[in-house]
Amino acid sequence: MQEFDLVLKNAFVNGAYVADIGVKGGIITALGLNLSPTEDTQIIDCEKAIVTPGGIDGHVHLAQDQSPRAKEAGYRCADNVETGTRSAVAGGTTTVMLFAEQSRGQSLLEAVENYHALVASQGSYADYGFHAIITDPSEKVLQEELPVLAQQGIMSMKLFLTYKHMRISDHQFLHALLKARELGMIALVHAENGDLVDFFTEQLEARNLTDSKYKAIAHPSAAEAEATNRAVTFSTVMDTPLLIVHVSVPESAKVIRKAQANLQPIFAETCPQYLLLGKAKLDQEHFCGAKFICSPPLRSEKKDIDAIWRGLVNGTFNIFSSDHCPYRFEDPSGKQLGLTRADNGNPQGMFTKTPNGLPGVETRVPLLFSEGVLRRKCIDVKRFVELTSENPAKLYGMYPQKGAIQIGSDADLVIWHPESFTPRRLKHSRDLHDNCDYSPYEDIEFLNWPKITVLRGRVVFRDGVVQGRSGYGNFIKRGKCAMPVVRVMEQEWDVLHAAV
Protein backbone atom coordinates (compact mmCIF):
# COMPACT_ATOMS: atom_id res chain seq x y z
CA MET A 1 0.00 0.00 0.00
CA GLN A 2 1.25 3.50 -0.82
CA GLU A 3 2.05 5.73 2.15
CA PHE A 4 1.40 9.45 2.14
CA ASP A 5 2.46 12.39 4.30
CA LEU A 6 -0.52 14.37 3.06
CA VAL A 7 -3.70 13.55 1.17
CA LEU A 8 -5.94 16.23 -0.29
CA LYS A 9 -9.32 14.50 -0.51
CA ASN A 10 -11.95 15.52 -3.07
CA ALA A 11 -9.87 18.08 -4.90
CA PHE A 12 -11.48 19.63 -7.99
CA VAL A 13 -8.15 19.50 -9.84
CA ASN A 14 -7.73 22.57 -12.07
CA GLY A 15 -11.53 22.83 -12.11
CA ALA A 16 -11.54 19.78 -14.42
CA TYR A 17 -12.09 16.57 -12.40
CA VAL A 18 -12.41 15.44 -8.80
CA ALA A 19 -9.64 13.29 -7.31
CA ASP A 20 -7.57 12.76 -4.21
CA ILE A 21 -3.99 14.03 -4.34
CA GLY A 22 -1.43 11.93 -2.46
CA VAL A 23 1.85 13.53 -1.38
CA LYS A 24 5.02 11.91 -0.12
CA GLY A 25 8.32 13.66 0.53
CA GLY A 26 6.99 16.91 -0.92
CA ILE A 27 6.10 15.29 -4.26
CA ILE A 28 2.73 14.32 -5.72
CA THR A 29 2.91 10.53 -5.76
CA ALA A 30 -0.71 9.61 -6.49
CA LEU A 31 -3.80 11.06 -8.13
CA GLY A 32 -6.88 8.91 -7.87
CA LEU A 33 -10.14 8.07 -6.20
CA ASN A 34 -10.32 7.05 -2.54
CA LEU A 35 -6.61 7.14 -1.73
CA SER A 36 -6.10 5.47 1.65
CA PRO A 37 -4.33 7.52 4.29
CA THR A 38 -2.40 5.81 7.07
CA GLU A 39 -2.38 6.85 10.71
CA ASP A 40 0.30 9.52 10.23
CA THR A 41 -1.14 11.02 7.08
CA GLN A 42 -2.32 14.59 7.28
CA ILE A 43 -5.70 14.86 5.56
CA ILE A 44 -7.23 17.97 4.07
CA ASP A 45 -10.76 17.49 2.80
CA CYS A 46 -11.15 19.94 -0.08
CA GLU A 47 -14.91 19.25 -0.33
CA LYS A 48 -14.65 19.55 -4.10
CA ALA A 49 -13.05 22.97 -3.88
CA ILE A 50 -10.94 23.98 -6.88
CA VAL A 51 -7.26 23.08 -6.47
CA THR A 52 -4.67 24.69 -8.73
CA PRO A 53 -0.88 24.41 -8.86
CA GLY A 54 1.02 26.89 -6.69
CA GLY A 55 1.44 30.22 -8.42
CA ILE A 56 4.75 31.07 -10.05
CA ASP A 57 5.44 34.77 -10.17
CA GLY A 58 7.93 35.33 -12.97
CA HIS A 59 8.73 38.92 -12.05
CA VAL A 60 9.46 39.91 -8.44
CA HIS A 61 11.91 42.54 -7.20
CA LEU A 62 12.99 41.91 -3.60
CA ALA A 63 15.90 43.46 -1.71
CA GLN A 64 17.15 44.89 -4.97
CA ASP A 65 18.28 48.00 -3.14
CA GLN A 66 21.52 46.24 -2.25
CA SER A 67 23.06 46.61 -5.70
CA PRO A 68 25.63 49.42 -6.01
CA ARG A 69 23.36 51.26 -8.47
CA ALA A 70 20.35 51.19 -6.18
CA LYS A 71 22.45 52.16 -3.17
CA GLU A 72 23.69 55.19 -5.02
CA ALA A 73 20.13 56.22 -5.87
CA GLY A 74 19.24 55.89 -2.18
CA TYR A 75 16.08 53.83 -2.71
CA ARG A 76 14.99 51.44 0.00
CA CYS A 77 12.79 48.52 -1.15
CA ALA A 78 9.89 47.89 1.19
CA ASP A 79 10.39 44.15 1.05
CA ASN A 80 13.35 41.99 1.77
CA VAL A 81 13.24 38.34 0.76
CA GLU A 82 11.57 37.26 3.97
CA THR A 83 8.66 39.71 3.88
CA GLY A 84 8.20 39.55 0.12
CA THR A 85 8.00 35.76 -0.01
CA ARG A 86 5.82 35.64 3.10
CA SER A 87 3.45 37.84 1.16
CA ALA A 88 3.78 35.57 -1.91
CA VAL A 89 2.65 32.39 -0.15
CA ALA A 90 -0.24 34.26 1.48
CA GLY A 91 -1.50 34.99 -2.04
CA GLY A 92 -1.09 31.48 -3.42
CA THR A 93 2.35 31.94 -4.97
CA THR A 94 4.85 29.21 -4.13
CA THR A 95 7.72 30.12 -6.47
CA VAL A 96 9.11 33.56 -7.26
CA MET A 97 11.58 34.62 -9.90
CA LEU A 98 13.84 37.30 -8.41
CA PHE A 99 16.35 39.60 -10.08
CA ALA A 100 20.09 39.50 -9.44
CA GLU A 101 21.26 42.83 -10.78
CA GLN A 102 24.65 43.55 -12.25
CA SER A 103 25.90 47.12 -11.95
CA ARG A 104 27.97 48.50 -14.80
CA GLY A 105 31.59 47.47 -14.46
CA GLN A 106 30.72 44.72 -12.00
CA SER A 107 31.29 41.03 -12.66
CA LEU A 108 27.95 39.34 -13.35
CA LEU A 109 29.04 36.28 -11.40
CA GLU A 110 29.90 38.43 -8.42
CA ALA A 111 26.53 40.19 -8.62
CA VAL A 112 24.71 36.85 -8.67
CA GLU A 113 26.83 35.38 -5.87
CA ASN A 114 26.18 38.44 -3.69
CA TYR A 115 22.46 38.21 -4.32
CA HIS A 116 22.44 34.46 -3.67
CA ALA A 117 24.09 35.06 -0.29
CA LEU A 118 21.66 37.86 0.53
CA VAL A 119 18.61 35.74 -0.30
CA ALA A 120 19.96 32.84 1.76
CA SER A 121 20.70 35.12 4.73
CA GLN A 122 17.23 36.69 4.66
CA GLY A 123 15.45 33.37 4.16
CA SER A 124 12.65 32.68 1.72
CA TYR A 125 9.18 31.32 2.44
CA ALA A 126 8.76 30.40 -1.23
CA ASP A 127 10.93 28.52 -3.70
CA TYR A 128 12.86 30.87 -5.93
CA GLY A 129 15.01 31.26 -9.01
CA PHE A 130 16.99 34.19 -10.42
CA HIS A 131 16.94 36.20 -13.61
CA ALA A 132 20.32 37.83 -14.21
CA ILE A 133 19.98 41.53 -15.03
CA ILE A 134 22.78 42.34 -17.44
CA THR A 135 23.67 46.02 -17.64
CA ASP A 136 27.20 45.51 -18.92
CA PRO A 137 27.38 42.70 -21.48
CA SER A 138 31.15 42.74 -21.87
CA GLU A 139 33.03 40.03 -23.74
CA LYS A 140 33.96 38.46 -20.39
CA VAL A 141 30.37 38.50 -19.15
CA LEU A 142 29.00 36.92 -22.31
CA GLN A 143 31.73 34.43 -23.12
CA GLU A 144 32.93 33.40 -19.65
CA GLU A 145 30.35 34.28 -17.03
CA LEU A 146 27.02 33.49 -18.67
CA PRO A 147 27.95 29.85 -19.38
CA VAL A 148 28.74 29.46 -15.67
CA LEU A 149 25.36 30.87 -14.74
CA ALA A 150 23.66 28.50 -17.16
CA GLN A 151 25.40 25.59 -15.44
CA GLN A 152 24.11 26.90 -12.12
CA GLY A 153 20.56 26.76 -13.44
CA ILE A 154 20.16 30.50 -13.97
CA MET A 155 18.63 30.26 -17.42
CA SER A 156 17.21 33.72 -18.00
CA MET A 157 18.54 37.25 -18.38
CA LYS A 158 16.79 40.60 -18.28
CA LEU A 159 17.92 43.32 -20.66
CA PHE A 160 16.85 46.95 -20.53
CA LEU A 161 16.33 49.32 -23.46
CA THR A 162 15.68 52.19 -21.08
CA TYR A 163 16.90 53.58 -17.72
CA LYS A 164 20.20 55.47 -17.91
CA HIS A 165 22.15 53.14 -15.62
CA MET A 166 20.85 49.91 -17.03
CA ARG A 167 20.16 50.17 -20.71
CA ILE A 168 22.24 48.47 -23.33
CA SER A 169 22.79 49.48 -26.94
CA ASP A 170 21.19 47.67 -29.87
CA HIS A 171 24.57 46.21 -30.72
CA GLN A 172 24.97 44.84 -27.20
CA PHE A 173 21.41 43.55 -27.32
CA LEU A 174 22.22 41.52 -30.45
CA HIS A 175 25.32 40.05 -28.81
CA ALA A 176 23.34 39.09 -25.72
CA LEU A 177 20.67 37.43 -27.86
CA LEU A 178 23.26 35.46 -29.78
CA LYS A 179 24.69 34.17 -26.51
CA ALA A 180 21.23 33.40 -25.15
CA ARG A 181 20.59 31.35 -28.27
CA GLU A 182 23.80 29.39 -27.82
CA LEU A 183 23.15 28.63 -24.15
CA GLY A 184 19.41 28.02 -24.49
CA MET A 185 18.69 30.88 -22.12
CA ILE A 186 15.59 33.02 -22.43
CA ALA A 187 16.05 36.79 -22.65
CA LEU A 188 13.52 39.10 -21.03
CA VAL A 189 13.39 42.63 -22.31
CA HIS A 190 12.13 45.85 -20.78
CA ALA A 191 10.99 47.42 -24.01
CA GLU A 192 10.79 51.20 -23.82
CA ASN A 193 12.81 53.54 -26.01
CA GLY A 194 15.08 55.22 -23.44
CA ASP A 195 15.93 58.23 -25.60
CA LEU A 196 12.29 58.94 -26.25
CA VAL A 197 11.46 58.71 -22.55
CA ASP A 198 14.45 60.90 -21.63
CA PHE A 199 13.47 63.47 -24.25
CA PHE A 200 9.89 63.72 -23.03
CA THR A 201 11.08 63.84 -19.43
CA GLU A 202 13.49 66.68 -20.21
CA GLN A 203 10.75 68.63 -21.99
CA LEU A 204 8.34 68.19 -19.09
CA GLU A 205 10.98 69.22 -16.55
CA ALA A 206 11.80 72.33 -18.58
CA ARG A 207 8.12 73.29 -18.24
CA ASN A 208 8.07 72.43 -14.55
CA LEU A 209 5.53 69.67 -15.19
CA THR A 210 6.86 67.15 -12.70
CA ASP A 211 3.89 65.91 -10.64
CA SER A 212 3.21 62.19 -10.59
CA LYS A 213 0.57 62.45 -13.31
CA TYR A 214 3.23 63.52 -15.85
CA LYS A 215 4.87 60.13 -15.51
CA ALA A 216 2.32 58.80 -18.01
CA ILE A 217 3.23 61.54 -20.49
CA ALA A 218 6.96 61.01 -20.05
CA HIS A 219 6.57 57.39 -21.14
CA PRO A 220 4.42 57.63 -24.28
CA SER A 221 2.92 54.44 -25.66
CA ALA A 222 5.02 55.01 -28.79
CA ALA A 223 8.18 54.53 -26.70
CA GLU A 224 6.96 51.10 -25.69
CA ALA A 225 5.67 50.17 -29.16
CA GLU A 226 8.89 51.22 -30.89
CA ALA A 227 11.12 49.29 -28.51
CA THR A 228 8.85 46.25 -28.69
CA ASN A 229 9.00 46.31 -32.47
CA ARG A 230 12.79 46.60 -32.35
CA ALA A 231 13.11 43.77 -29.85
CA VAL A 232 10.82 41.54 -31.93
CA THR A 233 12.86 42.35 -35.03
CA PHE A 234 16.10 41.45 -33.27
CA SER A 235 14.66 38.23 -31.92
CA THR A 236 13.63 37.28 -35.46
CA VAL A 237 17.04 38.11 -36.88
CA MET A 238 18.75 36.10 -34.15
CA ASP A 239 16.15 33.31 -34.33
CA THR A 240 16.08 33.39 -30.55
CA PRO A 241 13.11 33.30 -28.17
CA LEU A 242 12.40 36.56 -26.40
CA LEU A 243 9.98 37.55 -23.70
CA ILE A 244 8.63 41.08 -23.65
CA VAL A 245 7.87 41.86 -20.03
CA HIS A 246 5.24 44.12 -18.45
CA VAL A 247 3.45 44.98 -21.71
CA SER A 248 1.05 47.84 -21.13
CA VAL A 249 -0.15 49.17 -24.49
CA PRO A 250 -2.28 47.79 -27.34
CA GLU A 251 0.31 48.91 -29.91
CA SER A 252 2.85 46.53 -28.38
CA ALA A 253 0.33 43.72 -28.02
CA LYS A 254 -0.43 44.08 -31.72
CA VAL A 255 3.24 43.81 -32.74
CA ILE A 256 3.62 40.75 -30.51
CA ARG A 257 0.48 39.08 -31.84
CA LYS A 258 1.57 39.59 -35.40
CA ALA A 259 4.97 38.06 -34.68
CA GLN A 260 3.34 35.11 -32.94
CA ALA A 261 1.02 34.60 -35.91
CA ASN A 262 4.16 34.37 -38.05
CA LEU A 263 5.44 31.70 -35.65
CA GLN A 264 8.24 33.91 -34.37
CA PRO A 265 9.34 32.81 -30.89
CA ILE A 266 7.96 35.84 -29.07
CA PHE A 267 6.45 35.52 -25.61
CA ALA A 268 4.81 38.23 -23.60
CA GLU A 269 3.96 39.11 -20.03
CA THR A 270 1.46 41.52 -18.63
CA CYS A 271 0.70 42.47 -15.05
CA PRO A 272 -2.38 43.21 -12.92
CA GLN A 273 -1.74 46.97 -12.90
CA TYR A 274 -2.21 47.19 -16.69
CA LEU A 275 -5.54 45.36 -16.49
CA LEU A 276 -7.05 46.93 -13.42
CA LEU A 277 -5.62 50.42 -12.87
CA GLY A 278 -5.71 53.49 -15.11
CA LYS A 279 -3.55 56.60 -15.25
CA ALA A 280 -6.16 58.67 -13.38
CA LYS A 281 -4.67 57.05 -10.25
CA LEU A 282 -1.55 59.17 -10.79
CA ASP A 283 -3.54 62.37 -10.44
CA GLN A 284 -4.35 62.52 -6.72
CA GLU A 285 -3.99 65.07 -3.98
CA HIS A 286 -1.31 65.00 -1.26
CA PHE A 287 1.20 63.28 -3.51
CA CYS A 288 -0.85 60.04 -3.35
CA GLY A 289 -0.45 59.58 -7.10
CA ALA A 290 3.16 58.58 -6.35
CA LYS A 291 1.84 55.30 -4.99
CA PHE A 292 1.00 54.39 -8.59
CA ILE A 293 4.26 55.36 -10.28
CA CYS A 294 5.76 52.47 -12.19
CA SER A 295 7.42 51.85 -15.56
CA PRO A 296 5.83 51.42 -18.01
CA PRO A 297 3.25 53.75 -16.45
CA LEU A 298 -0.45 53.13 -15.98
CA ARG A 299 -2.28 53.87 -19.22
CA SER A 300 -5.62 55.39 -20.29
CA GLU A 301 -8.75 54.21 -18.69
CA LYS A 302 -10.73 52.04 -21.07
CA LYS A 303 -9.46 51.45 -24.59
CA ASP A 304 -5.94 50.37 -23.64
CA ILE A 305 -7.04 48.30 -20.70
CA ASP A 306 -9.63 46.41 -22.77
CA ALA A 307 -6.97 45.60 -25.35
CA ILE A 308 -4.69 44.16 -22.67
CA TRP A 309 -7.58 42.02 -21.39
CA ARG A 310 -8.15 40.76 -24.93
CA GLY A 311 -4.48 39.84 -25.20
CA LEU A 312 -4.76 37.89 -21.97
CA VAL A 313 -7.75 35.95 -23.25
CA ASN A 314 -6.58 35.34 -26.81
CA GLY A 315 -3.15 34.02 -25.87
CA THR A 316 -0.95 37.00 -26.83
CA PHE A 317 0.18 37.09 -23.22
CA ASN A 318 1.71 33.85 -22.06
CA ILE A 319 2.32 34.81 -18.46
CA PHE A 320 0.79 37.08 -15.86
CA SER A 321 3.31 38.38 -13.31
CA SER A 322 3.19 40.98 -10.58
CA ASP A 323 6.34 43.06 -11.21
CA HIS A 324 6.23 43.42 -7.43
CA CYS A 325 8.56 46.32 -6.71
CA PRO A 326 7.38 47.91 -3.47
CA TYR A 327 8.37 51.23 -1.94
CA ARG A 328 6.66 52.45 1.19
CA PHE A 329 4.66 55.61 0.66
CA GLU A 330 5.62 57.18 3.99
CA ASP A 331 9.30 56.24 3.82
CA PRO A 332 11.79 59.11 3.16
CA SER A 333 13.81 56.52 1.19
CA GLY A 334 10.66 55.24 -0.53
CA LYS A 335 8.05 57.16 -2.50
CA GLN A 336 8.70 60.33 -0.45
CA LEU A 337 12.01 60.74 -2.29
CA GLY A 338 9.86 62.25 -5.03
CA LEU A 339 8.27 64.91 -2.85
CA THR A 340 10.21 68.16 -3.02
CA ARG A 341 9.56 71.86 -2.39
CA ALA A 342 8.87 74.27 -5.22
CA ASP A 343 10.57 77.69 -5.24
CA ASN A 344 7.53 79.17 -3.46
CA GLY A 345 7.85 76.58 -0.67
CA ASN A 346 4.84 74.53 -1.74
CA PRO A 347 5.21 70.74 -1.89
CA GLN A 348 5.86 69.50 -5.41
CA GLY A 349 5.95 65.98 -6.79
CA MET A 350 8.94 64.98 -8.91
CA PHE A 351 8.16 61.83 -10.83
CA THR A 352 11.81 61.47 -11.88
CA LYS A 353 12.90 61.19 -8.25
CA THR A 354 10.09 58.87 -7.18
CA PRO A 355 11.12 55.21 -7.06
CA ASN A 356 9.37 53.16 -9.72
CA GLY A 357 7.20 50.24 -8.83
CA LEU A 358 4.08 48.84 -7.21
CA PRO A 359 3.58 46.07 -4.67
CA GLY A 360 1.52 43.10 -5.85
CA VAL A 361 3.09 39.68 -5.25
CA GLU A 362 0.30 38.72 -2.84
CA THR A 363 -2.63 40.08 -4.83
CA ARG A 364 -1.58 38.80 -8.30
CA VAL A 365 -3.12 35.31 -8.20
CA PRO A 366 -6.29 36.25 -6.28
CA LEU A 367 -6.85 39.23 -8.59
CA LEU A 368 -6.81 37.11 -11.73
CA PHE A 369 -8.98 34.44 -10.16
CA SER A 370 -11.43 37.04 -8.92
CA GLU A 371 -11.50 39.37 -11.93
CA GLY A 372 -10.77 36.97 -14.79
CA VAL A 373 -12.39 33.69 -13.74
CA LEU A 374 -15.21 34.82 -11.45
CA ARG A 375 -16.26 38.39 -12.25
CA ARG A 376 -15.66 38.86 -15.99
CA LYS A 377 -15.70 35.12 -16.68
CA CYS A 378 -13.41 35.79 -19.66
CA ILE A 379 -10.94 33.05 -18.73
CA ASP A 380 -11.56 29.58 -17.34
CA VAL A 381 -9.56 27.86 -14.62
CA LYS A 382 -7.41 26.12 -17.24
CA ARG A 383 -6.29 29.44 -18.75
CA PHE A 384 -5.85 30.93 -15.27
CA VAL A 385 -3.48 28.06 -14.42
CA GLU A 386 -1.54 28.55 -17.66
CA LEU A 387 -1.06 32.25 -17.03
CA THR A 388 -0.19 32.11 -13.35
CA SER A 389 1.75 28.85 -13.07
CA GLU A 390 2.09 26.41 -15.97
CA ASN A 391 3.49 28.81 -18.59
CA PRO A 392 5.96 30.54 -16.25
CA ALA A 393 7.19 27.04 -15.28
CA LYS A 394 7.63 26.08 -18.94
CA LEU A 395 9.14 29.39 -19.98
CA TYR A 396 11.64 29.42 -17.15
CA GLY A 397 12.64 25.76 -17.36
CA MET A 398 10.93 24.41 -14.23
CA TYR A 399 8.18 22.31 -15.81
CA PRO A 400 6.86 19.79 -14.76
CA GLN A 401 8.65 20.00 -11.41
CA LYS A 402 6.62 23.16 -10.97
CA GLY A 403 3.43 24.39 -12.64
CA ALA A 404 1.57 21.09 -12.77
CA ILE A 405 -0.62 18.81 -10.67
CA GLN A 406 0.88 15.56 -11.89
CA ILE A 407 2.54 12.53 -10.39
CA GLY A 408 6.19 13.47 -9.89
CA SER A 409 5.59 17.23 -9.62
CA ASP A 410 6.33 19.18 -6.46
CA ALA A 411 3.23 19.29 -4.28
CA ASP A 412 2.73 23.04 -4.64
CA LEU A 413 -1.01 23.52 -4.41
CA VAL A 414 -3.62 26.19 -3.82
CA ILE A 415 -7.11 25.45 -2.53
CA TRP A 416 -9.94 27.83 -3.39
CA HIS A 417 -13.48 27.91 -2.06
CA PRO A 418 -15.32 30.31 -4.37
CA GLU A 419 -18.74 29.31 -3.05
CA SER A 420 -18.17 29.97 0.63
CA PHE A 421 -16.12 33.17 0.33
CA THR A 422 -17.68 36.50 1.25
CA PRO A 423 -16.60 39.14 -1.29
CA ARG A 424 -14.64 41.94 0.32
CA ARG A 425 -12.23 44.79 -0.16
CA LEU A 426 -8.67 44.56 1.07
CA LYS A 427 -7.29 46.64 3.85
CA HIS A 428 -3.53 46.63 3.60
CA SER A 429 -2.75 46.66 7.31
CA ARG A 430 -5.28 43.94 8.06
CA ASP A 431 -5.02 41.60 5.10
CA LEU A 432 -1.60 41.66 3.48
CA HIS A 433 1.71 40.20 4.59
CA ASP A 434 4.29 42.33 2.79
CA ASN A 435 6.16 45.22 4.36
CA CYS A 436 4.71 47.95 2.18
CA ASP A 437 2.27 50.45 3.67
CA TYR A 438 -0.40 50.40 0.98
CA SER A 439 -1.86 48.25 -1.77
CA PRO A 440 -2.83 49.70 -5.16
CA TYR A 441 -5.82 47.34 -5.14
CA GLU A 442 -7.64 48.52 -2.02
CA ASP A 443 -10.60 49.74 -4.12
CA ILE A 444 -11.22 46.36 -5.69
CA GLU A 445 -13.67 43.86 -4.28
CA PHE A 446 -12.11 40.39 -4.20
CA LEU A 447 -14.53 37.58 -5.01
CA ASN A 448 -12.17 34.93 -3.70
CA TRP A 449 -8.83 34.35 -1.99
CA PRO A 450 -6.75 31.18 -1.54
CA LYS A 451 -7.86 29.29 1.54
CA ILE A 452 -4.78 27.09 1.77
CA THR A 453 -1.36 27.23 0.10
CA VAL A 454 0.84 24.12 0.14
CA LEU A 455 4.54 24.23 -0.78
CA ARG A 456 6.25 20.88 -1.34
CA GLY A 457 3.64 19.13 0.76
CA ARG A 458 3.66 21.60 3.65
CA VAL A 459 0.81 23.93 4.48
CA VAL A 460 2.40 27.39 4.39
CA PHE A 461 -0.77 29.50 4.49
CA ARG A 462 -4.21 28.73 5.86
CA ASP A 463 -7.28 30.90 6.46
CA GLY A 464 -5.45 34.19 6.35
CA VAL A 465 -2.47 33.06 8.44
CA VAL A 466 1.04 32.31 7.17
CA GLN A 467 2.18 29.01 8.68
CA GLY A 468 5.41 28.46 6.82
CA ARG A 469 8.81 29.64 7.92
CA SER A 470 11.42 31.68 6.14
CA GLY A 471 14.29 29.52 4.98
CA TYR A 472 12.00 26.67 3.85
CA GLY A 473 12.10 28.03 0.30
CA ASN A 474 14.64 26.38 -2.00
CA PHE A 475 16.68 27.74 -4.87
CA ILE A 476 15.41 26.12 -8.08
CA LYS A 477 18.05 25.11 -10.57
CA ARG A 478 16.37 25.54 -13.93
CA GLY A 479 16.71 23.99 -17.35
CA LYS A 480 16.01 25.29 -20.83
CA CYS A 481 12.80 27.03 -21.83
CA ALA A 482 10.17 24.38 -22.55
CA MET A 483 7.61 26.54 -24.35
CA PRO A 484 7.09 25.20 -27.84
CA VAL A 485 8.81 27.29 -30.49
CA VAL A 486 9.03 26.89 -34.21
CA ARG A 487 12.36 27.79 -35.67
CA VAL A 488 11.95 29.60 -38.99
CA MET A 489 15.51 30.38 -39.84
CA GLU A 490 16.17 32.40 -42.95
CA GLN A 491 18.81 31.10 -45.30
CA GLU A 492 21.05 34.14 -44.91
CA TRP A 493 21.28 33.65 -41.15
CA ASP A 494 22.25 30.00 -41.37
CA VAL A 495 25.82 31.16 -41.97
CA LEU A 496 25.86 33.08 -38.72
CA HIS A 497 24.15 30.43 -36.63
CA ALA A 498 26.08 27.53 -38.13
CA ALA A 499 29.14 28.89 -36.37
CA VAL A 500 27.39 28.91 -32.98
Smallest separation (angstroms) from ligand URP to the CB of 495: 35
Plot region of 62 (φ>0 → left; ψ -120 to 50 → alpha; else → beta): beta
Q: Is 325 in the site for ligand URP (CB under 6 A)?
A: yes
Q: Is 356 in the site for ligand URP (CB under 6 A)?
A: yes
When the beta carbons of 190 and 299 are compared against Zn ion, the nearer one is 190
Q: Binds 122, which of ligand URP, Zn ion, none (CB < 5 to 8 A, cut-off by type)?
A: none
The number of C-alpha atoms within 13 Å of 276 and in the hemisphere containing its C-beta is: 26
Give residue 451's identity as a one-letter amino acid code.
K
| Cβ distance to Zn ion smaller for residue 20 or 323 | 323
Q: Of these, 323, 390, 410, 434, which contacts ligand URP (CB under 6 A)?
A: 323
Residue 356 contact, options Zn ion, ligand URP, none, Cβ 5-8 Å cut-off depending on partner type: ligand URP
Contact 458, 472 (CB under 8 A): yes
CA distances 394 to 31, 196, 353, 364, 482, Å, are: 22, 34, 37, 19, 5
- Compare residues 250 and 297 and give the one whose CB is closer to ligand URP: 297
Residue count, binding to ligand URP (CB under 6 A): 9
Among the listed residues 93, 212, 295, 370, the single contact to ligand URP using CB under 6 A: 295
Distance CA 500, CA 496 (A): 7
- Which residues would be at the binding site for Zn ion (CB under 5 A)? 190, 323
Instruction: Closer to ligand URP by CB, 97 or 155: give it.
Output: 97
Residues 6+ apart with CB under 8 A from 137: 159, 168, 172, 175, 176, 179
Q: Which is nearer to ligand URP, 318 or 354 (CB)?
A: 354
Instruction: Check whether the bond before 400 is cis (ω within 30° of 0).
Output: yes
Q: How far apart are CA 309 and CA 276, in angstroms?
A: 9
Contact flag: residue 294 with ligand URP (CB under 6 A): yes
Least distance to Zn ion from the beta carbon of 323, Å?
A: 4
Give CA torsion, residues 204, 210, 214, 217, to 10 deg. Answer: 20
Name which of Zn ion, ligand URP, none residue 294 binds, using a CB cut-off of 5 to 8 Å depending on partner kind: ligand URP
Nearer to ligand URP, 412 or 434 (CB): 434
| 61 part of the interface to ligand URP, by CB under 6 A | yes
Q: Does 190 bind ligand URP (CB under 6 A)?
A: yes
Query: In whole angstroms, how close is the CB of 157 to Zn ion at the nearest point?
Result: 13
405-415 core/surface letters (b: 16 or more CB in 10 A; e: else): beeebbbbbbb
Taking alpha carbons only, the member of 158, 183, 286 closest to residue 240 is 183
The distance of closest approach from Cβ of residue 167 to ligand URP in the complex, given in angstroms and rounded to an integer, is 11
**Please, which residues bridge with residue 424 across strands?**
446
| Residue with smaller CB distance to Zn ion, 61 or 456 | 61
167 binds, among Zn ion, ligand URP, none (CB under 5 to 8 A by kind): none
- Torsions phi, psi for 480 (to 5 deg): -75, 160
Binding site partner of 55, from Zn ion, ligand URP, none, Cβ cut-off 5-8 A by kind: none
Provide, for the chain, the percentages of residues in helix, strand and coil under a 3-state DSSP scheme, each rounded to the nearest 5: 35, 20, 45
Rounded to a whole number of angstroms, the minimum distance from the CB of residue 59 to Zn ion is 5
Cβ closer to Zn ion: 137 or 400? 137
Question: Binding residues for ligand URP, per CB under 6 A?
Answer: 61, 190, 246, 294-295, 323, 325, 356-357
